[in-house]
Amino acid sequence: MIAVIQRVRRASVQVDSQIVGAIEQGLLVLLGIARGDDESDVLWMVKRITHLRIFADAAGKMNCDVCQTRGAVLIVSQFTLLADLSNGNRPGFSGAEDPVIARQRCDAVSLGIEAMGIPTARGAFAAHMLVTLENDGPVTITLDSRARRAE
């Protein structure tokens, strides 16, 4: 599971000119589900996203997480994070999970974050989305649950 996380002042997702998900201050999470990701990846990703200390404390240091700042999270599925460019310039996506399973894993991450009391919005799975954001910082962090397996 791969996530690109951006600290935002606001973010929204449109599908067919309709806003399907929007947040104010918080985290925009672009989430790619890799073939073979399981419940342990979901739990790891939820914990890492919700505990990232990338918001300023009273001293201006990145020391607070999204819950402490009463922020929200917008989850946007993005299989293109699993692009394989090892055989030329046209990306291959064989490393991305089957859409049925990927939707379940993406939903599980969203539900896990919601269960922690953090307001959570979502994009539309497998839809062509227009994502708008106001990046705060900018602060952009990447997480890869597969890297933890090597620990």
pLDDT value, residue 148: 78
* Residue labelled with tokens 């985290």: 27
* Residue 98 DSSP label: P
Alpha carbon distance 150, 65 (integer Å): 26
What is the C-alpha separation between 70 and 111, in angstroms, rounded?
17
Q: How far apart are CA 21 and CA 15, in angstroms?
A: 9
d(CA 80, CA 64): 30
What pLDDT shows up at residue 146?
Answer: 87
Q: How crowded is the C-beta side of 76, counted as CA atoms within 13 Å?
A: 28
**Cα 75 from Cα 55, distance rounded (Å):** 18
Residues labelled as active-site residues: 78-80
Per-residue pLDDT of the chain (151 residues), as tens digits, is 999 999 999 999 999 999 999 999 999 999 999 999 999 999 999 999 999 999 999 999 999 999 999 999 999 999 999 999 999 999 999 999 999 999 999 999 999 999 999 999 999 999 999 999 999 999 999 999 988 755 5
Q: What is the pLDDT of residue 151?
A: 53
CATH superfamily of the 2-134 domain? D-tyrosyl-tRNA(Tyr) deacylase (3.50.80.10)
- What pTM, to 2 d.p., does this model score? 0.94
- Domain ranges in the chain? 2-134
